Amino acid sequence: MLSSKPWTWDTLVRLIIGAFVCLCVGSIVVSALHYSGPSALSRVVFFGLAGVGFILLIISLIIISREWSSEDFLRQLLILLACLSGGLSFAAWGQKMAGLTDEGRSGEQMVVAEAAVLLFFIGFLRARRVKWSDAFGIGNNLRHGILAGIALACIFLPVAQGLQWGSYHLMTNLRIEPQAQEAVRALCITNTWTNRLVFGSLALFLSPVVEELFFRGMLYPAIKQAGFPRLAIWGVSLLFALVHFNLVSFVPLFVLAILLTLLYEHTDNLLAPITAHALFNALNFGMLYLLEKQVAR
């Protein structure tokens, strides 16, 4: 049974805003790494806009992480809104100058963004003096949780393949063109080991940790403790499947999310769903790599 967690609606709102800001930070960083303007002046303008936007967004993350006193609430809110609006505006102008990112760069953007989200979560917990053991049950039923996570990933993998196969053929019969997930497409078009390492780190480490921290670790217990246990499991699982923006993988991801939530409930240790999620991604990553090798032959 899942123990009580220190999450409130105020915490969730801050975390959601912070995660969105981290996505924007990732976009700025990747655009700056790959930008090649037509002239020296355009480069100066771009990096100026990107730099100001980056600084304002980092300030926003710091403000979001801190506790606000009732006496200082209005001032902090106004500063946050000013930094957010300014940072997003400068980031948007810089992004417009940089142009659209291709699939390979979008994968890099997600790596940077999720790394930023992870650092933001760590800073957020430290600022509020919340222990990881209290927040996520780290240490509870550790051996049992990890073994249960491994078992779940191995058992669910063929089920997920079957569900995805069914979704693929249903979409084909309905004359809807199935699309691979963005990370999969990015992996297929890259030919360098450095890019494969980037996507591998995203799939095997960053994505499972960040997604489990947010969906199972924070969002699910907060909604459940607010008095909506059914909305917590079904709604959060639905949101988890939706944010991957892939129709053919929607059903297996939705089922996986429900199983990961039940696993967290059973073990009261977030390392259990993190282990299951990471191993599931690793197995899929390995199967995709082997399939690509066979096709290349």
CA distance linking residue 244 with residue 250, whole number of Å: 8
Instruction: Evaluate whether residue 247 is within a structural domain.
Output: yes
- Cβ neighbourhood burial of 292 (10 Å; 0-12, 13-18, 19+): exposed
CA distance linking residue 95 with residue 87, whole number of Å: 12
Torsion angle, alpha carbons of 190, 192, 194, 200, to 10: 50
Tens-binned pLDDT, residue by residue, of the chain (297 aa): 788 888 888 888 888 888 888 888 888 887 787 776 677 777 888 888 888 999 999 999 999 888 887 778 888 889 999 999 998 888 777 777 766 555 556 666 777 788 888 888 888 888 888 888 888 988 888 889 999 999 999 999 999 989 988 887 887 887 776 665 555 555 555 556 666 666 666 667 888 999 999 999 999 998 998 889 999 999 999 999 998 878 888 999 999 999 999 999 999 999 999 999 999 988 887 777 666 555 445
Map tokens 């967690």 to a residue. 5
- Count of CB atoms within 10 A of residue 102's CB? 11
Tokens (6 digits) for 118 = 């992870």
Tell me, yes or no, whether 109 and 204 share the same domain.
Answer: no
Rg for the chain, CA atoms, rounded: 21
Tell me, yes or no, whether 111 and 172 share the same domain.
Answer: no
Is the CB of residue 55 less than 8 Å from the CB of residue 9? Answer: no
Instruction: State the alpha helices, DSSP H only, in 128-249.
Output: 132-136, 142-173, 182-189, 193-201, 207-211, 220-225, 229-230, 236-242
Tell me, yes or no, whether 80 and 174 share the same domain.
Answer: no
Instruction: Evaluate whether residue 4 is within a structural domain.
Output: no
* DSSP secondary structure string for all residues of 42-89: HHHHHHHHHHHHHHHHHHHHHHHHS---STTHHHHHHHHHHHHHHHHH
- Count of CB atoms within 10 A of residue 130's CB? 16
Instruction: Evaluate whether residue 2 is within a structural domain.
Output: no
Is the CB of residue 84 less than 8 Å from the CB of residue 21? Answer: yes
Is the CB of residue 202 less than 8 Å from the CB of residue 107? Answer: yes
Tell me, yes or no, whether 20 and 125 share the same domain.
Answer: yes
Tell me, yes or no, whether 285 and 184 share the same domain.
Answer: yes
Residue where one domain finishes, among candidates 96, 129, 162: 129
Tokens (6 digits) for 135 = 């927040």
* DSSP secondary structure string for all residues of 264-284: HHHH--THHHHHHHHHHHHHH
Tell me, yes or no, whether 204 and 116 share the same domain.
Answer: no
CA distance linking residue 214 with residue 220, whole number of Å: 8
Q: How far is CA 151 from CA 66, 75, 251, 255, 296, in A?
A: 39, 51, 20, 16, 32
Q: What is the pLDDT of residue 198?
A: 65
Residue where one domain finishes, among candidates 129, 158, 184: 129
Tell me, yes or no, whether 149 and 101 share the same domain.
Answer: no
Q: Quote the number of domains for the chain.
A: 2
Q: What is the pLDDT of residue 248?
A: 84
Q: What pTM was computed for the model?
A: 0.84
Domain that holds residue 165: 133-296
Is the CB of residue 145 less than 8 Å from the CB of residue 273? Answer: no
CA distance linking residue 203 with residue 182, whole number of Å: 12
Q: What is the pLDDT of residue 196?
A: 65
Tell me, yes or no, whether 141 and 112 share the same domain.
Answer: no
- Cβ neighbourhood burial of 35 (10 Å; 0-12, 13-18, 19+): middle
